Structure formats: structure tokens, C-alpha cells
Homo-oligomer: A and B are copies of this chain.
Amino acid sequence: MALYPHPRLDDVSLETALHALADSCRLGIVRRLDSQTGELSCQSAAQAGEVPKSTLSNHFKILRGAGLIRTRAAGREYLSSLRREEFDARFPGLLDTVLRQPRD
């Protein structure tokens, strides 16, 4: 089973982090992962029945590339969790500030 690459946070630029958060589907995934401590399957994290699987995979790839999430294989599922502490250490206050913004 393929292992996904996860960057070191030092290698993630601010622009990459902001771009990853600049999408309502990806923001939703991050919010859902943030609202619970454990891991979620991609489908549970995305709650996106209408979104094509390839689109969803790309969203998760962008989130991984920004150091926001970690994905691991668990049997036939892929489980994702937020890299909260690492991300907060790299970009102090950024995720908290984004997540507490008023929702449209």
C-alpha cells in the first residue's frame, strides 16, 4: 500500500500553508479534524458525498503538502489527522486565527 509523503514543516512556506487553507472543502476537512483529537477516514473528514474522489484526493494531497495533515493506511482505509503541534510551531497562531474567523 502506497505511503504518502509528508514534508518537514521547515520545508513548508507560508504561501503553501495559506493556499492549502484557501478552499472551502479543505477548510472543512481541517475544521473537522480539528474538532476531534483522533483520526478520520477521508470520507468522514471531507463529508463530501458529491465531490468526485479524484478531487477529494487532490485536496488531501494539498493538505499533506502544506504540513497540515498526516495520512496513514489502516487496512483498506486511509486515516488522516491534523499535525496541529508541528503546524502551530511553524506558523504560530495561524491555524487558530483562520479557524476562528466568522463563517459565511
Given the interface contacts A14-B104, A94-B98, does A22 sit within 8 Å of B19 by beta carbon? yes
Q: Given A97-B93, A97-B94, A98-B94, verify A23-B27 contact (CB < 8 Å).
A: no
A15 within 8 A of B: yes
User: How many interface residues does chain A have, given as a range?
Assistant: 20 to 34
Q: Is the CB of A22 within 8 A of B15?
A: yes
Interface membership of A35, Cβ < 8 A: no
Q: Measured between alpha carbons, how far is A16 from B16 in the docked complex, in Å? A: 15
Q: Are the C-beta atoms of B15 and A18 separated by less than 8 Å?
A: no
Q: Is A7 an interface residue (CB 8 A)?
A: no
Inter-subunit contact B91/A14 (CB<8 Å): no
Closest 3 CB pairs of A and B: A18-B22, A19-B22, A97-B97
